[in-house]
C-alpha cells in the first residue's frame, strides 16, 4: 500500500473514532440530564391533601396564628396555602421524603423540614417577618363513602 493509501485509511479511522467519541459523550450528558430532572419517588401515603394550623413558637399572638392546607401531588410537587385572617398566601415547590423527614423545597423561599408521625406532619418554619412558626398538618382521609349495596335483579 502506498503512502496515499495509508493517509486515506488513517483519515477514515480518525473520523470513525471521532464519531464514536462524540456519540458516547452525548449519551452520557443526556443520561445525566434525565436523572437530574426526574423527581424522586414519594411514598403513596404521603400524596394527598393535608390540613392544619400554625402559630408563633414564642410570644403567642392570636393574630399571627392561622390555618393551612398542603396538597402533595404524585409527581413530587406541592402547593401550600396559608390563611391568616383575610390574608391568603400560596407557595409551591418540590417535596423530598427521607425516612420520617419530609422537606418542602419552596421555589421562592426557605425550605421547610417536617417530621412525620403517622398521619401528621409537624415542624417549624419562619413566616414573612422571620418569626418561627409551629405548624402541624394532618392527612385528610380522602375516603369515599361506600356505594349502597343492593340487589341487582
Residue 73, all three cell numbers: 401531588
Buried b (16+ CB within 10 A) or exposed e, 73-106: eeebbbebebebeeeeeebebbbbbeeeebbbbb
Q: Which SS3 state, helix, strand or coil, does residue 26 take? A: helix
Q: Which residue has the cell 412558626?
A: 133
Dihedral angle sign, alpha carbons of residues 99, 69, 52, 57: positive
Residue 69 has pLDDT above 60, yes or no: yes
Residue 21 has pLDDT above 60, yes or no: no
Distance CA 75, CA 95 (A): 9
Residue 83, all three cell numbers: 390563611
What does pTM read for this prediction? 0.64
Distance CA 52, CA 74 (A): 20
- Listed residue (112, 120, 54) closest to 85, CA to CA: 54
Summary mean pLDDT of the chain? 77
Which range (10-14, 82-86, 134-138, 144-148) has the least confidence? 144-148
Averaged pLDDT for residues 64-69:
92
Residue 122: its H or E element: strand 120-126
- By percentage, how much of the chain surpasses pLDDT 70? 64
Distance CA 125, CA 131 (A): 8
In this prediction, residue 9 carries a pLDDT of: 59
Which range (27-31, 40-44, 75-79) has the least confidence? 27-31
Distance CA 114, CA 103 (A): 6
Amino acid at each position: 500500500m502506498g503512502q496515499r493509501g495509508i493517509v486515506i485509511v488513517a483519515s477514515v479511522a480518525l473520523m470513525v473514532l471521532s464519531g464514536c467519541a462524540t456519540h458516547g459523550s452525548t449519551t452520557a450528558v443526556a443520561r445525566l440530564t434525565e436523572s437530574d430532572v426526574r423527581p424522586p419517588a414519594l411514598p403513596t401515603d404521603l400524596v394527598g391533601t393535608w390540613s392544619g394550623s400554625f402559630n408563633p413558637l414564642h410570644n403567642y399572638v392570636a393574630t399571627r396564628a392561622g390555618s393551612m392546607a398542603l396538597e402533595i401531588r404524585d409527581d413530587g410537587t406541592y402547593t401550600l396555602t396559608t390563611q391568616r385572617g383575610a390574608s391568603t398566601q400560596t407557595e409551591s415547590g418540590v417535596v423530598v421524603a427521607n425516612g420520617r423527614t419530609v422537606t418542602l423545597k419552596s421555589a421562592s423561599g426557605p425550605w421547610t423540614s417536617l417530621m412525620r408521625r403517622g398521619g401528621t406532619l409537624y415542624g417549624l418554619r419562619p413566616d414573612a417577618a422571620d418569626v418561627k412558626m409551629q405548624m402541624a398538618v394532618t392527612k385528610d382521609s380522602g375516603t369515599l363513602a361506600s356505594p349502597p349495596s343492593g340487589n341487582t335483579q
